[in-house]
Amino acid sequence: MKTIEDLEVTGKRVFVRADLNVPLSGATITDDGRIRAVAPTIAKLLARGARVVVASHLGRPKGEPDPQFSLAPVAVRLGEILGAPVAFATDTVGESAKATVAALGDGEVTLLENLRFNAGETSKDDAERGAFADELAALADLYVGDGFGAVHRKHASVYDLPARLPHAVGDLIATEVGVLKRLTEEVARPYVVVLGGSKVSDKVGVIDNLLGKADRILIGGGMAYTFLAALGHEVGISLLQKDQIPTVLEYLERGKANGVEFVIPVDVAISASFPDLKTKAPVEDFEVVDADAIPADKEGLDIGPKTRALFAEKIADAATVFWNGPVGVFEHPAFAEGTKAVAQALLESDAFTVVGGGDSAAAVRILGFDETKFGHISTGGGASLEYLEGKTLPGLAALEG
């Protein structure tokens, strides 16, 4: 793969496919981690006199303009981070985009409106995607792929566009791939994997692949209840994916056979209902019970104190830790303790620590941890997971050669 240093960028229009898919509350960016992550690549190109055209998706609009998914607030924040004005095009490949790009001087930058306001971006039809990629290609001379969070998508701007322009990999993707190699090929042991989040089905492939690589797999979050149910415990009204129980049982078996230790919660924090994440109203019936004593009418929403200590102990001597998925509903303070404890355990270990997953990365920041103290905080949840599953990622394949 070529890096941006290999490109002759001065005076050239350089298309940077970034992942600026940040969480928004109205027009307010609640976590700007992804913007900050790609800013150095853009700054480097600007310093070399490139005319930078940044593009990204945001949320899941349905192939047409939808103001709630506008990148306008991101343009403002990107400008603040770069310390330079960012011209915002109010469409992606239309009149505004053409005019804004044409007006760029050397060392100036524009952000195009949401790629997914165009049906061609995500189309399953090669011709439709290709036609949109042609329109994008007309706006640039060179392509830099740096939207790590989107490299697992076979989308026009990720997969088809680099085939149409001389291309290179941006610094963010280069770093991410280097980290992923340390989690798959050049692993320092003991290697501990902490998995949480809401659904087992999201993480099944990762467990499958890491069962051959990790020494310990710690299971928290909503997926823990499918593990507990597989072990025959009552899980009340907790998140449960019954159809995944056979898979989970097979993993537990394979773990035994491969000498991979599964660590399942021994106690959990429960309530009769899912907490209100908007008002963050106190949880009146908050209670901690052993994991084999969840009442039928209660929902498990975090790991309990015994599990926090157990997880910390299992992380303490690690040389490599990969963590994906909050171990509780951290968005509510009553159920954030488990996620805090995991973050703290990572910081206290001497391991190379990697946090993957959009919500996990946001959790680290929202809960007040210093992100620079972690080995690496990945910007791409799905992309990291698919890489760890052993899959070929279209956006990386497109940057080869």
- Show binding-site residues: 19-21, 34, 57-60, 116, 153, 203, 300, 331, 357-360
Q: Taking a C-beta distance cutoff of 8 angstroms, is the pair 381, 360 a contact?
A: yes
Q: How far is the CB of 256 from ligand ADP (least distance, A)?
A: 25
The yes-or-no answer on residue 62 being catalytic is: no
Quickly list H helices, 48-192.
72-82, 95-102, 119-122, 126-137, 171-184
Residue closer to Mg ion (CB basis): 300 or 358: 358
**Selected range binding ligand ADP among 173-181, 247-255, 257-265, 321-329, rule: CB under 6 A:** 321-329
Active-site option among 36, 98, 199, 365: 199
By C-beta, is 326 or 394 nearer to ligand ADP? 326
Q: Does 21 bind ligand ADP (CB under 6 A)?
A: no
Catalytic residue list contains 34: yes
Question: By C-beta, is 100 or 238 nearer to ligand ADP?
Answer: 238
305 CB contacts (<8 Å, ≥6 apart)? 267, 288, 337
Cα–Cα distance, 25 to 109 (Å, whole number): 26
Q: Show the binding pattern over residues 358-387: x = contacts Mg ion (CB under 5 A), - = does not.
A: xx----------------------------
Torsion angle of the four alpha carbons 215, 216, 222, 226, in this order, in degrees rounded to the nearest 10: 80
Before 190, cis peptide (omega within 30)? yes
Binding segment for ligand ADP among 5-13, 87-95, 180-188, 352-360 (CB under 6 A)?
352-360
User: Mask 225-264, x = binds ligand ADP (CB under 6 A)?
Assistant: --------------x-------------------------
Residue closer to ligand ADP (CB basis): 89 or 303:
303
Q: Is position 222 an interface residue for ligand ADP (rule: CB under 6 A)?
A: yes
Instruction: Work out whether 265 is an interface residue with ligand ADP (CB under 6 A).
Output: no
By rule CB under 6 A, what count of residues binds ligand ADP?
Answer: 20
157 binds ligand ADP (CB under 6 A): no
Concerning whether 199 is annotated as a catalytic residue, the answer is yes
What's the closest the beta carbon of residue 362 comes to Mg ion, in angstroms?
A: 9
DSSP string, 322-391: EEES-SS-TTSGGG-HHHHHHHHHHHHS-SEEEEESHHHHHHHHHTT--GGGSSEE-S-HHHHHHHHTTP
Cβ proximity to ligand ADP, 144 vs 327, nearer residue: 327
Q: Does 129 qualify as catalytic in the annotation?
A: no
Binding region for ATP: 203, 300, 331, 357-360
Q: Taking CB under 6 A as the rule, does residue 221 contact ligand ADP?
A: yes
DSSP state, residue 158: I
Q: Tokens representing 217?
A: 């797999």
Site for ligand ADP, residues 196 to 215, rule: CB under 6 A: 196-198, 202
The DSSP element (H or E) to which 262 belongs, if any, is strand 261-263
* Among 27, 118, 115, residue whose Cα is nearest residue 76: 27
Q: Does 190 bind ligand ADP (CB under 6 A)?
A: no
C-beta of residue 214 within 8 angstroms of C-beta of residue 345: no
260: exposed, middle or buried (Cβ count in 10 Å: 0-12, 13-18, 19+): buried
Round to whole Å and give the CA distance between 249 and 231: 8
Taking the C-alpha atoms of residue 13 and residue 301, their distance in angstroms, rounded to an integer, is 49
**Which residues of the chain form contacts with Mg ion (CB under 5 A)?**
358-359
Query: Which residues are known to be catalytic?
Result: 34, 199, 358, 382
